[in-house]
Structure 1
Amino acid sequence: MEEKKDYKNTLLMPETEFSMKANLAEKEVMYNAKWLENQIYQQLLKRNANHESFILHDGPPYANGNIHAGHALNKILKDIIVRFRTMQGFYSPFVPGWDTHGLPIEHKMLSEAKKNAKDFSAVELRKQAAAYALSQVEKQKEQFKRLSLLTDFSEIYVTLDKKFEAKQLKLFQKMLNEGLIYKDLKPIYWSPSSQSALAEAEVEYADHVSPSLYVGFEVSKETEHIKKGDYLLIWTTTPWTLIANSGVAINADFDYVLVKANNKRYVVAKDLLETVAQVAKWEEFEVIANLKGKEILEAKYISPINKMECPVVEGHHVTLENGTGLVHMAPLFGEDDFIIGNKNNLVKIMHVEDDGMLNDKALQFANVFYDDANPLVGKFLEENGLLVAFKKIKHSYPHDWRTHLPIMYRATPQWFVSLKPIKEEIQKALNTVQTYNDWSKKRLALMLENRETWCISRQRTWGVPIIIFYDKNKQPVIDNEIFDYVINLVEQFGSDVWYERSADELLPEKFRNLGFTKETDIMDVWFDSGSTSIGVEPGNVKAPFDLYLEGSDQYRGWFNSSLINSVAWRAKSPFKALLSHGFVLDGKGQKMSKSKGNTIDPLDVVNKYGSDILRLWAANSEYTADVTIDDKILLQTVEIYRKIRNTFKFMLGALSDYDFKDVEVSSIHALMLERINNLETRILNNYEQYRFVNVIKDINNFIIDFSSYYISITKDILYLEKVNNPERRQVQYIFSQLILMLSKALAPILPTTAEDIYTYFNIPLKEISVHMLPFIKGHAFSDDLETKWAPFFELKEEVYRLIEEKIKNQTMKRQNEAHVIINTDSEWIKSLPLTKLLMVAKVSFGNETKVEKLDSVKCLRCWNHFEKNNFDEKLEICNRCKEVINE
């Protein structure tokens, strides 16, 4: 039996060492080492040093604990932007920063040391906290390096740096000089568990069960209708504040009633009577008189616990939403209480210490934790016949975001920034900022619009001290000579100097021995991080910076404090443009938590798949909203990656004998070039708008389409024609253009893969790295060829459908056996090499479009089917293949 002829050696098969298997985890280590060794980042900075700068200023993450998926999303998005701007030629140093002061660091240090704050002197505690913070910076820095960021971390910033602290204190001095900073007794969020004031951004709301009490306050001074021994009925969910009660507020315009129930007479708002009667379980009650709010203002009553005679006052905050229409006032325990208390000279009683314990002013309730006093107060009121009703209610209540324990409103002496004088300037500055959607600017404007003051003092030790001295009469001394002197010391020795030296040692000579004392409070950490546009100059570039990009929680955090501080410092926004991303949730859209076991550790993903997969997930996310991640989503990401990689492998293999000379393209190849140029323009536009999800979508869709059609039809040309066949060179030219364009376009997102592709892309005059290449360019959009070729693709779809039917009903086995008869009047379609473009055996023209099986023989070299007249029966190959072999 005659042996089958083998023509395998006559084929021009693809050849490349670019592997199908990505091995990203290993390759990343290799390429990272190469980038460091060749100082790619520093080379790029040097190359672009005299160009226009583009600074993406890194908002400082907290130096505490391992990085999580949110950190990874944030740093990857930033890195994509820094990389593409750098490739565009901008001078774009990236200086990562860390927030290093504040309670969480102090807490963590103490819990790891298994000690309490009181076990340390202030200086010792600060030294320990600083050491802990810096160890966390090192740990996170090493973890961030695993994300393949375009920075060598040679320049970073930390908020505990003495030069940074000095700049921050210069800002404080300027704000003080301009009358923006003042000290005042004011109710603020106070956390007994942290023993510190909290900013609004440090408050979270959670369900809490509170006692709901309806209490009668006995009238001591009569009015026309209200008699001694009647009761003003109030409602409260914080019984412990009744100890400090010194007034009752009503609304002068509301209608009230005097009602008799259970042989007692109560004053209550008319509209709330039914609800109150229900809660108090009054089976029978009688309205004795209708009153206007104004009349009640003339009454006085005896406060139930402190026994003071107290007035009834007008309150802007009294509503008919719930309660009784009469509101009990404890001026030091509520914002409205405080304002109304000041206006009406109500007595101010502070009966709660910093740790939440009640002091001697709480009388018989002293030495009890404030929350534990609630049942005791309730019992006292009941025993004295003043408790009208009691129930428990579940409601949303403010908690400390770090200890997750309830907080209170409590008036303490604090330092504040007044925003009123610069409100207009802030708004003006915000108007200059570019955002990429309408709601970003609105959201920030709204946050600032509703903010009158900012409490910047904290009762802790670990932070930047508020460098104020008090004279012997306890009055703050505001003197620039003193500030300059202290700031100079901080610049030399760091802010520990405030704790290491006595007041006199910190003062210029002429102020010594005058009995001055030091402020012990530190600054809110948001003031630290809000000062970064003043204290940080990436690559010696000063703010305003080009872009801030952080999580959406930073509208009330870093975006907010940065804008306030920058306007106070330079009357400008610190950012020219603003971008935000959502939170990272699990695959079901739920918050990640260790207790739920649904966390995804970014470093686990990097170890398993490589950072390029994590980066592709980030780029392929609609990051402006919350984004999801789980194993299933990561596997889908791997699939997208695999398709991209395999297409590159094929194209690189096809270029093994290419000479990289420019070629004039025609026919389908010219159409492909038009498509590549249009794709490049779309990708560039999406990069400029930071729409990375569209970059990936467009590339992925293009590659699927390109592989399924163009690569399929060109295999025949690549493998079977002569090396220098002009059409073969056109295909190679198209591949080379696509590889070059896409390796640049993907470099910011997939740095390792792009470098890997470029390593095996044997283009002449290669750069040392793909990242040294200029970025993609835009082209004038053209769809001339797309329009011209549209009829062909309509025809192709119809023909493929007919072939599919034939294969399904087993009239023929494969596409390349088909004889296609086409009904067309188009001379242009008739002029095309349709056999090749449709990948069929024969094309002819008739008065209907149909498909038949061709009576044919199969070429052993190209595996296409031919009629016998186009075939060498002896060699068992087609005439085209015979001609190529003979050459």
Structure 2
Amino acid sequence: MCADTTTQTPDYKDTLNLPQTDFPMRAGLPKREPEWLERWAKIGVYDRLRDKAADGSRTPFTLHDGPPYANGHLHIGHALNKTIKDMIVRSHQMMGHDARYVPGWDCHGLPIEWKIEEQYRQKGKNKDEVPVIDFRQECRKFAEGWVDIQREEFKRLGITGNWDDPYLTMAFHAERVIAEEFQKFLMTGTLYQGSKPVMWSPVEKTALAEAEIEYHDHKSHTIWVPFRIVSGGHMALPQGEDDDYAGADTELLAEGLHQARVVIWTTTPWTIPSNKAVAFNPTIEYGLYEVTDTPEESWVSKGDLYVVADKLAGDVFKAARLAPEMYTRKRGVSADELSSLTLAHPFAGMDGAEGFWDYEVPMIDGDHVTDDAGTGFVHTAPSHGADDYECFVKRNWIDRMTHNVGEDSEFLPHVPFFAGLTVFDHKGKEGKANAAVIDKLVEARGIIARGRVTHSYPHSWRSKAPVIFRNTPQWFASIDRDVNDGQDENGKTIRQRALTCIDQVKWTPQSGRNRLYSMMEARPDWVLSRQRAWGVPLTCFTKKGALPTDEGFLLKDPEVNARICEAFETEGADCWYAEGAKERFLGTGYNADEWEQVYDVLDVWFDSGSTHAFVLRDRADGTKDGIADVYMEGTDQHRGWFHSSLLQSVGTTGHAPYRNVVTHGFTLDEKGNKMSKSLGNTIVPEEVIKQYGADILRLWVAQTDYTADQRIGPEILKGVADSYRRLRNTMRFMLGALGHFDESDRIEAADMPELERWVLHRLAELDEVVREGYRSYDFQHVFQQVFTFCTVDLSAFYFDIRKDALYCDGDTTRRKAARTVMDLLFHRLTTWLAPVLPFTMEDVWLDRFPGEESSVHLQDFPATPTDWRNAALAEKWGKVRMARRAVTAALEIQRTEKVIGASLEAFPVVHVEDAEMLEALKTVAFEDICITSDIALTADPAPAEAFRMADVPNVGVVFEKAEGEKCQRCWKILPDVGTHSHASTCARCDEALG
């Protein structure tokens, strides 16, 4: 039997330079990320970066953290906010700065106090029966617990910072500094006690600032109330009119007007008992209207005369159930006439009122009155409205303010008919006050129509309950008084300084500047006081028996202030409430019986607004000038932390506490709806991390335009995860190609092929884009540019082309150049992306550079030589890539139709009509660029059957199959295969085999 002499095909797989890496395709982020967190803590990455800057070689960069509230688990807005901050800090560190980040927490205030009160209520305890220091200690303990929880949740997001030593507004030193900052307002004369309407929460029993208010739809009563004219009504007569009016009483000069009534419209009937005036606008046209007929049921009578704005007359009488033919306009009413009128309160003269409302109600002009809705007249209760109050301040009528409504929104005992009735109950539900007032108006024939309207109404953002405007004694910081501190470079008043400083700050986006500027232009004085227990007290004393306007009403003694602050430093603010505190702080120089101690606490926005002082100014890791390089928060902080920080800082230092302000929008669901537990559309960071890992959440942040509102949801996160996988594949390819790379493999850029030099050109371009993007906080642009480079320029082009050389070449210059470029890519891409994907880039880095002390986060962005840029080369390769697109598209058709299985089976003929492009293609290995075994280039016109692309008009491709045999090592089909010493190989592979 003869032996089998069949020749077996050689297996050259082991001779290839195949990728060498253990870097996994699957990231396993939810499981592996905590391991990296432990590693970073163990090697002390944050502290090592600070040590790196100890020699002063790095410029400090400080992002000052707007403190989240220590109350509850993190929501998606927290994740967005802290991730943006982390990207800012990490990127500036890697650009050569000493980038410091001290996280902080807002620990005082109503939300925490409210939680403790709820616990008391559940136990049947009354907060007011608990000693105030004990209550405050429970609030402190509650805040401490949530600080610890939130700290771990923030760290899980990969946020770098000084987590071991954060700042807390309830720390003793912080409480001391907050008190000191308040005392500066006291000593410079901007602090005063006043009585004005403030937004008051009947549920929480405290004044609220605008930043503590949110607006929700609310159904309110609407009433149309006529005010009887009791005197005035002078009408200027036309020249030439007869003299019948000569010497007549002014009440009779306006024919019919003395019998008319001025109609107001309001959505707050409960404020009618506190009415003190009716406002009109001289620019509005008003008319006198007579009722000529009425329906069967009506609160108006035939012959009634009413004054309303002409534009609104139809709406008014429609509300009163009058058809157009039931009323007629008798004549116009001038502004002069209106200004001379005196009205009577609707309850004037009522039995049982004991003359309570028997006072004159003047007509006053006001710019706030419009004819957009209502009647063109505004019922004015200066104790219950901001515009109303300002009208009275303008006229020096502050003594006419009422104090009719208490802290529970109840009418006080002295108010006839309504004493004890509430506007809202302790749960925020409507009380009986509105209905009672309306019923009394009906009885007094003081109403012509009523209804209901749903409108946007202020609510407390904590209790979600509606608020009221209520006149209460409060402590204010005047923003228009001169600040007597000698720091007048930016203005003498807080408002002047704030407006000047706003234009010294860089705003991202710029619209933030306009928003804050307009707020500062129009804002009233700052209400500093809150009637609560958990906070920093207003550390001041008032003279017993003195009026707030009296000289010496406020005690201004630096020695007293110093004693208070020294005690706060060692004991905390609780010592203000200790027995004998007044005597202790006043000292022997004052008789304690002559002074009142103030127990209101400061608005928490004053606390957080003061953080620049005890964080930036006082800490070793603060700033030399007490100014942060950047504040970064949500757009709602234009009326919150950005706002209060600016007011507080200009009031005590004369300048802004920040150089840059960056603002992000709100987070919505995939359909653009606000997230709500009731709608079931909330995205919880913890759940995203469990499913995908923190890096996917961070990548979502980087892919969004955070300056506007962003959307997130399951489908969006799936798309983000897909982008992540594509990026991870790019990094994995590089790691595989760099197996066993060392310095002996490196070659200089000048010795590289054009393709590699084109990649270096792109790197040089990108280096500038990345640095500028990070400097301007434009993470979306940075990521888009780097991601496009990785997926389009690298994975789909450069890597695709160079696989053959990397796998099949021997020790060639081409292969060395490719690996050198891979190394240069590696160092740039891992550091450029580390601020966005800290876990993944650490994974990539450690795969190549393992070691106990190794970390990508200890690196800077590598310096990129400017001479890598080559515009001419880039232009040439732009033409090469354009022609390649036409070829690969033509081959894809053949692959789809199963004419070929791979592009190496093709030998296309490429007709190039552009001479410059043809010349460019002839100077490169275009067959390698197109991944074909061979290629033919010609200037001949393309035949009719040639494939063309609309956007590559000068190129036509005719498909031909490659001729020859398939190389069993590189799989190219070439005529010379089988003619070399190594069986079934091409010349290149034969040489590589040696």
Range into which the TM-score falls when normalised by the shorter chain? over 0.9
CA deviation after TM superposition for structure 1 residue 251, in Å: 4.6
CA deviation after TM superposition for structure 1 residue 376, in Å: 1.6
The question of 1:352 aligning with 2:405 is answered yes
Distance 1:302 1:202, change over 3 A: closer
1:80 to 46, 69, 87: 87
Which moved further from structure 2: 665-674 or 568-577?
Answer: 665-674
CA distance in 1, matches of 2:331, 2:907: 102
Which residue of 2 is the match for residue 497 of structure 1? 575
2:274 to 212, 229, 244: 244
Distance 1:827 1:556, change over 3 A: closer
CA distance in 1, matches of 2:345, 2:854: 86
1:534 to 605, 609, 613: 613
Which residue of 1 is the match for residue 882 of structure 2? 794
1:719 to 784, 804, 807: 807
CA deviation after TM superposition for structure 1 residue 194, in Å: 1.4
SS in 1 for 2:563: helix
CA distance in 2, matches of 1:674, 1:696: 19
CA distance in 2, matches of 1:219, 1:721: 103
Which moved further from structure 2: 766-775 or 397-406?
Answer: 766-775
Which residue of 1 is the match for residue 207 of structure 2? 197
CA distance in 1, matches of 2:734, 2:332: 90
CA deviation after TM superposition for structure 1 residue 868, in Å: 4.8
Which moved further from structure 2: 494-503 or 107-116?
Answer: 107-116
Deviation per CA, 1:399-433, whole angstroms, max 9, x where unpaired? Answer: 22222222111111111112222222212211111
CA distance in 1, matches of 2:964, 2:603: 84
CA deviation after TM superposition for structure 1 residue 57, in Å: 0.4
Provide TM-score, normalisation by structure 1. Answer: 0.95
Distance 1:21 1:216, change over 3 A: closer
Contact 1:303 1:309 (8 Å CA) reproduced:
no
Contact 1:190 1:407 (8 Å CA) reproduced:
yes
Distance 1:190 1:841, change over 3 A: same
CA deviation after TM superposition for structure 1 residue 58, in Å: 0.4
1:11 to 16, 21, 37: 16
CA deviation after TM superposition for structure 1 residue 294, in Å: 3.2
Which amino acid letter does the alignment assign opposite residue 266 of structure 1? L
Tell me, which stretches of 5 or more residues in structure 2 are unaligned? 233-250, 293-300, 349-355, 424-430, 481-492, 548-552, 943-956
The question of 1:322 aligning with 2:353 is answered no
Which moved further from structure 2: 255-264 or 521-530?
Answer: 255-264
Contact 1:206 1:397 (8 Å CA) reproduced:
yes
Which residue of 2 is the match for residue 35 of structure 1? 40
The question of 1:843 aligning with 2:951 is answered no
SS in 2 for 1:233: strand
SS in 1 for 2:988: helix
CA distance in 2, matches of 1:344, 1:48: 60
Which residue of 2 is the match for residue 292 of structure 1? 334
Deviation per CA, 1:721-763, whole angstroms, max 9, x where unpaired? Answer: 22x2221111111111111110111111111211111112259
Which amino acid letter does the alignment assign opposite residue 280 of structure 1? A
Which runs of structure 2 are paired with 1:505-524 in the superposition (5 Å)?
505-524=584-603
Which residue of 2 is the match for residue 279 of structure 1? 319
Distance 1:264 1:400, change over 3 A: farther
CA distance in 2, matches of 1:497, 1:869: 93
Which moved further from structure 2: 452-461 or 809-818?
Answer: 809-818
Which amino acid letter does the alignment assign opposite residue 411 of structure 2? L
The question of 1:177 aligning with 2:168 is answered no
Which residue of 1 is the match for residue 797 of structure 2? 709
CA deviation after TM superposition for structure 1 residue 557, in Å: 0.4
The question of 1:609 aligning with 2:649 is answered no
Which amino acid letter does the alignment assign opposite residue 434 of structure 1? K
What is the aligned-residue identity percentage? 34
Deviation per CA, 1:574-600, whole angstroms, max 9, x where unpaired? Answer: 111110111111111111111111111
CA distance in 2, matches of 1:379, 1:673: 83
Distance 1:778 1:414, change over 3 A: farther
2:344 to 282, 298, 301: 301
CA distance in 1, matches of 2:910, 2:314: 85
Which amino acid letter does the alignment assign opposite residue 314 of structure 2? E
2:462 to 374, 396, 402: 402
Contact 2:508 2:663 (8 Å CA) reproduced:
no
Distance 1:232 1:635, change over 3 A: closer
Distance 1:783 1:251, change over 3 A: closer
Distance 1:676 1:347, change over 3 A: closer
Provide TM-score, normalisation by structure 2. Answer: 0.85
CA distance in 2, matches of 1:335, 1:406: 17
CA deviation after TM superposition for structure 1 residue 842, in Å: 2.3
Which residue of 2 is the match for residue 64 of structure 1? 71
Deviation per CA, 1:206-225, whole angstroms, max 9, x where unpaired? Answer: 22222222223344447114
Which moved further from structure 2: 591-600 or 389-398?
Answer: 389-398
Contact 1:821 1:850 (8 Å CA) reproduced:
yes
Contact 2:505 2:658 (8 Å CA) reproduced:
yes
CA distance in 1, matches of 2:978, 2:333: 111
Deviation per CA, 1:822-862, whole angstroms, max 9, x where unpaired? Answer: 44665553343233232222234443553311332112222
The question of 1:830 aligning with 2:912 is answered no
CA distance in 1, matches of 2:676, 2:743: 54
Which residue of 2 is the match for residue 815 of structure 1? 903
CA distance in 2, matches of 1:393, 1:89: 59
Which amino acid letter does the alignment assign opposite residue 391 of structure 1? G
CA distance in 2, matches of 1:504, 1:855: 105
Which residue of 2 is the match for residue 234 of structure 1? 264
Which moved further from structure 2: 12-21 or 558-567?
Answer: 12-21
CA deviation after TM superposition for structure 1 residue 170, in Å: 1.6
CA deviation after TM superposition for structure 1 residue 89, in Å: 2.7
What's the C-alpha RMSD, in Å, of the aligned pairs? 2.4
Distance 1:844 1:281, change over 3 A: closer
CA deviation after TM superposition for structure 1 residue 465, in Å: 0.4
Distance 1:762 1:310, change over 3 A: closer
The question of 1:331 aligning with 2:341 is answered no
Which runs of structure 2 are paired with 1:94-493 in the superposition (5 Å)?
94-113=101-120, 114=122, 115-221=125-231, 223-224=251-252, 225=255, 231-251=261-281, 255-257=286-288, 259-260=290-291, 262-269=301-308, 271=310, 272-282=312-322, 284-286=326-328, 290-296=332-338, 297-304=340-347, 306-316=356-366, 317-341=368-392, 343=395, 345=397, 347-370=400-423, 371-420=431-480, 421-475=493-547, 476-480=553-557, 481-493=559-571
Which residue of 2 is the match for residue 880 of structure 1? 988
Which residue of 1 is the match for residue 730 of structure 2? 647
Which runs of structure 2 are paired with 1:647-686 in the superposition (5 Å)?
647-661=730-744, 662-663=746-747, 664-686=751-773
Distance 1:264 1:15, change over 3 A: same
The question of 1:866 aligning with 2:974 is answered yes
CA distance in 2, matches of 1:365, 1:241: 12
Contact 1:183 1:416 (8 Å CA) reproduced:
yes
Deviation per CA, 1:226-252, whole angstroms, max 9, x where unpaired? Answer: 587754433332222222233333456
CA deviation after TM superposition for structure 1 residue 785, in Å: 1.2
Distance 1:289 1:786, change over 3 A: closer
Which residue of 1 is the match for residue 667 of structure 2? 584
Which amino acid letter does the alignment assign opposite residue 18 of structure 2? M
Which residue of 2 is the match for residue 737 of structure 1? 824
Which amino acid letter does the alignment assign opposite residue 93 of structure 2? T
Distance 1:321 1:15, change over 3 A: closer
SS in 2 for 1:362: coil
SS in 2 for 1:55: strand
SS in 2 for 1:734: helix
Which moved further from structure 2: 302-311 or 246-255?
Answer: 246-255
CA distance in 2, matches of 1:641, 1:21: 11
Which moved further from structure 2: 654-663 or 15-24?
Answer: 654-663
